[in-house]
Amino acid sequence: MNKELICIVCPRGCHLTVDDNLNVTGNTCKRGEIYGKQEVTSPTRTVTSTVKIKSVEFVRLPIKTKDPIPKGMIFDLMEVLEKVEVEAPIHIGDVVVSNVLNTGVDIVACREVLK
Ligand code: SF4
């Protein structure tokens, strides 16, 4: 059965159709074909969130997964992030959690926080 998707790789948002043989149509470029196949077989997402900063009230550090992780692991990731507390100073790109959930993907800081 065909799957209908919207490509989220770029803002153009092409409407994709992926058939049972993983043939992708509706894509304007190769990246859409790759996305369509992956979304049907093994969907992944880059996740953004925030974590606590020690000794700083009401301010949280924005973070993201450096690379996409399997979509099915997002709730487990949120449980990990809820327990994370970082200490300033923090610089953009600093690794907050290494190899999260054994995915090979690091969680990195998206903002600088000075002491
Ligand atoms: S298929 Fe290509 S052009 Fe279309 S939304 Fe995806 S990345 Fe953008």
Domain ranges for the chain, please list them: 3-42, 48-109
Ligand 1 pocket, mutate which of 4, 6, 8, 9 (most atoms under 8 A from CB): 9
| Length in residues, the chain | 115
Confidence of residue 57 (pLDDT cuts 50, 70, 90): confident
User: Which residues are CB-contacts of 53 (< 8 A; sequence separation ≥ 6)?
Assistant: 59, 60, 61, 85, 86, 87, 88, 90, 113
Architecture of domain 48-109: Roll (3.10)
pLDDT in tens, 13-27: 999 999 999 999 999
Question: What integer is the mean pLDDT of 59-70?
Answer: 96
pTM of the model: 0.82
3-state secondary structure of 32: helix
List alpha helices for 42-112, DSSP H: 74-83
Report residue 114's pLDDT band, with 50, 70 and 90 as the boundaries.
confident
Tokens, residue 74? 């997002």
Task: Examine the pLDDT at 56 and tell me if it is beyond 90.
Answer: no
Question: Could you tell me the distance, in angstroms and rounded to a whole number, from the CA of residue 114 to the centre of ligand 1?
Answer: 39
